[in-house]
Amino acid sequence: MSHDSTAAPESTARKLSGRRRKEIVAVLLFSGGPIFESSIPLSVFGIDRQDAGVPRYRLLVCAGEDGPLRTTGGLELTAPQGLEAISRAGTVVVPAWRSITSPPPEEALDALRRAHEEGARIVGLCTGAFVLAAAGLLDSRPATTHWMYAPTLAKRYPSVHVDPRELFVDDGDVLTSAGTAAGIDLCLHIVRTDHGNEAAGALARRLVVPPRRSGGQERYLDRSLPEEIGADPLAEVVAWALEHLHEQFDVETLAARAYMSRRTFDRRFRSLTGSAPLQWLITQRVLQAQRLLETSDYSVDEVAGRCGFRSPVALRGHFRRQLGSSPAAYRAAYRARRPQSERPVDPDPGGAGAPRPPAPAEPAALSPEGSVPFQTRRTAAPVPAAAGVPGQRGAS
């Protein structure tokens, strides 16, 4: 279920101030930032590929704080520009921030706010979204980040509409992406927005990556409790839900176990996990179905029952929406990649509820065959009310 919109929303568009240039891209680097995410915008916007049909950008590499800047592996970087250079950029990119628990330098936040006020496009890659949020640029806006950090972003900045399912979110003059490879997706999207499909396709060929990926982060989510939920009273309810996915229960059941009204439970749950409880529950059921399809010989009907779906039809609908294929096609494709010696055995011979086997290794993030598909902004694509979750009105 992909919505590909390369046009920036008019409501958020700002006129670029006279001293800024659209073709100038500033990349803001900090000490402690991972080198992979930092190198993505440097490679996309800093190399002249006009011979391949890619329009040229002018790159400014700016230090967000005093150097030298230390990065992955103990490397030291010296940025040729400081914060003052951001004043010329039409696009400012913040790669992954060094720590989701530490505040960014106030001078850098002020520079980002001024750039935004003067019409610059502000981009946060992976945990760079935390820097944008700290600057107040994500208030009342949709945004994403790596699924593992989305609950923390939602809890720390409750005014941000965090969607951990997206590869990236384009909200016009403020854009955010999920982790690592999704930063490439977002940078390609920027080139596509500025110069069209042909230029973005030429760049993708040079980078040897898919020009577009549809879908989201769903297939990479795991069942781990969010890092900050452990001490919260809802942790017990979440843990219970994960251990009883094979049973038929609904969100009202979870709210009752938490001794809360449905409305209060919805609000508290979203603040902790970054997701509405109904969507979270459906996602967890689909993830469990994915594991059973990979590790057992259960029929699709049996998988649906063991994951708490009321019918195989409900499983198929949600599975296709989240993973882009039918359960049967997913199993066939998965097994085609596995050696005969690793074919599945029944993980639960005694009935539903036995310990679940660990998920296999993820496919390569940039493989065209196994990659997560590309997705831009999804502004209002709520899951149909309680579809496929037992006990909810409107279940299929």
Q: Which two tokens stand for residue 264?
A: 């209060």
Rounded to whole angstroms, what are the CA distances from 343 to 33, 97, 211, 293, 323?
Answer: 40, 41, 33, 11, 21
The pLDDT of residue 68 is above 90: no
pLDDT bucket at 99, cuts 50 / 70 / 90? confident
Q: Which pTM does this prediction carry? A: 0.61
Instruction: Give the mean pLDDT of the chain.
Output: 79
pLDDT bucket at 280, cuts 50 / 70 / 90? confident
The pLDDT of residue 72 is 79
61 or 360, which is more confident: 61
The pLDDT of residue 109 is above 60: yes
The pLDDT of residue 290 is 86
- Rounded average pLDDT over 119-148: 94
What is the distance of C-alpha 47 from the center of its chain?
27
The pLDDT of residue 170 is above 80: yes
Distance in angstroms (rounded) separating the CA atoms of residues 131 and 120: 16
The SS3 assignment for 312 reads helix
Asked if residue 146 lies in contact with residue 177, where contact means CB atoms within 8 angstroms, the answer is no
Asked if residue 139 lies in contact with residue 146, where contact means CB atoms within 8 angstroms, the answer is no
- Rounded average pLDDT over 50-70: 90
Asked if residue 295 lies in contact with residue 347, where contact means CB atoms within 8 angstroms, the answer is yes
396 or 48, which is more confident: 48
pLDDT in tens, 283-326: 889 888 988 998 899 999 999 999 999 999 999 999 888 777 89
The pLDDT of residue 104 is 94
- Rounded average pLDDT over 358-374: 34
Distance in angstroms (rounded) separating the CA atoms of residues 396 and 393: 9
The pLDDT of residue 191 is 95
pLDDT bucket at 124, cuts 50 / 70 / 90? very high
Q: Which two tokens stand for residue 384?
A: 């149909």
